[in-house]
Amino acid sequence: MTQSSKPKSKLRAAILGASGYTGAELIRLLQRHPHVEIVLITADRKAGQPIEAVFPHLGGEGLPDLIAISDIEWAGLELDVVFCALPHATSQRIIKGILHETGHGFIDEMIIEQTEDYANAIHGSVKVIDLSADFRLRDADTYEQWYGGKHDALSLQKEAVYGLSEHYREDIKKARLVACPGCYPTAALLALIPLMSEKAIKKDGTIIDAKSGVTGAGRSLKESNLFTEVSEAMHPYGIASHRHAPEIEQELSRAYGDDLLVTFTPHLIPMNRGELETIYVNLEDGKTADDLRDILKKQYQNEKFVTVLDEKIVPATRNVRGSNNTQIAVFEDRVPGRAIIIAVIDNLVKGSSGQAIQNMNLMFGYEETLGLEQMALFP
């Protein structure tokens, strides 16, 4: 199947690393996609278990049992799309094996012994959607600085398309590897890219005060994520050192046409899911908050998943919970020459698995909203 050909009635999909929250959301959403069949689910620590043993809410769907990556019998799978929800560094090694530079699939020999017939197991047209951070940063030195190790798949890093659907749609359609943005960058970039592109705000002095539900910290056992550590409290983390900062700066610098830095501080708040970012910007001379709102409304007027609210209407995470939707609002600051922008998303859907499926739809020529039609869950 070529990139321009019509997709099959059912895509054969694999989810690698399915025991986390993003993996569960991928399964939940893909099971209602009319053109996707999940044929492979991996989770090394939960290998051998049925999915309902890990996520009871996903039982009764006829899904395959979880297996370890090293136990996959690749021959005959004929995969069309692979969602990679593995940790950074691990993800790049696996994807390097799937997307060999010859265009034929093989598994990295560090993961499983290469066999002669593996080239028949995964076709050259297989597409990969990575939910880790491994292919988000375009500069290898920046990746090494922020993630503590050299990148092991530099040719793929250069090839990967940044998966912010609303802004890189045409590139995503032609890609075989898409790097889904982080949850914090998704909300910030949807709010700021149009304004930077139009030079409506100054490149310096942007402050992003971001807050996320506890699922943003992952599902692995951590003392800081215990109920008694999180409940009835809120705390910042990654102060001036969070790995999403260079990702945000990379895309905003590209939009503005010049290098820039932002002040970015994330916070963990005592709720399961949801993300709210309060963004403070310096207006360019002669620009007003109303101008910013008009630019955003024009940019997103035909977008299904982004809504720019009218003046004085305040976004809330409950308005997008469980959906792939984004709400953005602009307010005039009391400080002359500044504006306040509020953006909300569900960190597990638009900030992760939902955007991944939106990108899959683009890559395979489906209607962009397929599998993502659910409205927000309220209250």
**For 308-333, how does the pLDDT look when each residue is reduced to its tens digit (9 = 90+)?**
999 999 999 999 999 999 999 999 99
Q: What span, in angstroms and rounded, lies between the C-alpha atoms of 149 and 132?
A: 15
Amino acid at 317: T
**For 9-63, how does the pLDDT look when each residue is reduced to its tens digit (9 = 90+)?**
789 999 999 988 899 999 999 999 999 999 999 998 888 899 999 999 999 999 9
CATH number of the domain encompassing residue 336: 3.30.360.10
The helices-and-strands tally (H runs, E runs) of the chain is 11, 14
Phi, psi (deg, nearest 5) at residue 11: -80, 135
Residue whose C-alpha is closest to residue 3's, from 116, 141, 123:
123
Write down the pLDDT at residue 233.
87
**For 103-160, how does the pLDDT look when each residue is reduced to its tens digit (9 = 90+)?**
444 444 433 333 333 333 334 589 999 999 999 999 999 999 999 999 999 989 999 9
Q: Does residue 167 register a pLDDT over 90? A: yes
Q: Which are the contacts of 294, defined by CB distance < 8 A and separation ≥ 6? A: none
User: Catalytic: 84?
Assistant: no
Confirm whether 356 is domain-assigned: no
Q: Does residue 126 share a domain with residue 197?
A: no
Q: Does residue 196 share a domain with residue 148?
A: no
In total, how many domains does the chain have?
2
Q: What span, in angstroms and rounded, lies between the C-alpha atoms of 357 and 369?
A: 9
% helix, strand, coil for the chain, step of 5: 35, 20, 45
Confirm whether 164 is domain-assigned: no
**pLDDT, averaged across the chain:** 89
Confirm whether 28 is domain-assigned: yes
In this prediction, residues 330-350 reach a mean pLDDT of 97
**For 179-214, how does the pLDDT look when each residue is reduced to its tens digit (9 = 90+)?**
999 999 999 999 999 999 999 999 999 999 999 998
Catalytic residue among 183, 230, 260, 340: 183
Q: How confident is the model at residue 100 (pLDDT cuts 50, 70, 90)?
A: low
Write down the pLDDT at residue 226.
74
Q: What span, in angstroms and rounded, lies between the C-alpha atoms of 12 and 5?
A: 16
Q: Domain range spanning residue 189?
A: 184-347
Structure letter (DSSP) for residue 273:
S
Share of residues in the chain with pLDDT > 90 (%) = 77
Write down the pLDDT at residue 110.
36
**For 247-306, how does the pLDDT look when each residue is reduced to its tens digit (9 = 90+)?**
999 999 999 999 999 999 999 999 999 999 999 999 999 999 999 999 999 999 999 999
- Residue 350 contacts residue 326 (beta carbons within 8 Å): yes
Q: Does residue 219 share a domain with residue 115?
A: no
CATH number of the domain encompassing residue 149: 3.40.50.720
Q: What span, in angstroms and rounded, lies between the C-alpha atoms of 126 and 173?
A: 14
DSSP 353-374: IHHHHHHHHHHTT--TTTT--P
Confirm whether 5 is domain-assigned: no
Write down the pLDDT at residue 5.
41
Write down the pLDDT at residue 281.
98
Q: Does residue 203 share a domain with residue 148?
A: no
Confirm whether 39 is domain-assigned: yes
Structure letter (DSSP) for residue 314:
P
Confirm whether 167 is domain-assigned: no
Q: Does residue 210 share a domain with residue 132?
A: no
